[in-house]
Structure 1
């Protein structure tokens, strides 16, 4: 990576992972939505977010679902008319589960807002290590639709938004702090770097 200091994303830990996308309407004749732009926007807003378990997300530019959005913790699918379907609670590992349709919204901004509210509600009410494919059936998709959309209380939603914003504001990328480390030992090995003896090769 040299001196470019590109963000590398989080692969391990109980946290928000990088967002998988297809090429979307920019490069695919079937695409009805700009999945790459929306995926980047979601990732830039919620990157590094800690959670009870890992969170995998995807955005796909049409119902052909090349980015496998239907089997992610949260998946977004572009549909005709500039609208987006938001699915939650999917999985594709040892426990295969198709995500439940949470809502169909009219804009990318609404997707980002609903994503934040869903993730924050999940972070606050799921058990430790409980993936969304277990949590969504446990609490019920009807309950999620009620508290986040249909019968949502404005004060409750404002609280979710505020607490999510606090987490977003607190995020910092350790890979970008090389020039100005936050602590003297941030990028120093905790182990002594001892020279290894040279062993002859036969």
Structure 2
């Protein structure tokens, strides 16, 4: 195990770090099959604090990081280029309580669109976006690629979690997001 991989294991635990070539191979190609990248490590953090620590360690090792959500995008934005560390948002799936008055919720960037839609429906609300890949598309990926049309989402970057890291990760988007909802319309007779 490399020094970097060992340092990352210290953050999230061995279960959430993989250097297995077969695992990495399935995550270094886009859906079109036209873009193929390389990666050295896959890491799956479970909190924004872990994300901040991972990025700090990768910076110390001069290691590029490619973030991956549901990997449903057709623009090859999640294909790693330089033997990157792949940072998966698949464990960042917490959905906070829905504020039905303000019509907002705080949700992790790994939350799928379908999970958010289901949570909203329980409160007679709906999220204003729906796309065919709803079961696997994640909020973080949708926000970073502007998928599903222009929707206003207030995002919290990892810079807010670690002031030391602020100048080093200005492009990090939506480790958690506040989503806006609209009331579910009901037919009247």
Pair in the same fold by TM > 0.5: no
Which has the greater radius of gyration?
A: 1
Q: Which protein is richer in helix relative to its size? A: 1
Q: State the structure with bigger RCO (CA 8 A, min sep 6), 1 or 2.
A: 2
**TM-score, L = length of structure 2:** 0.29
**TM-score, L = length of structure 1:** 0.28
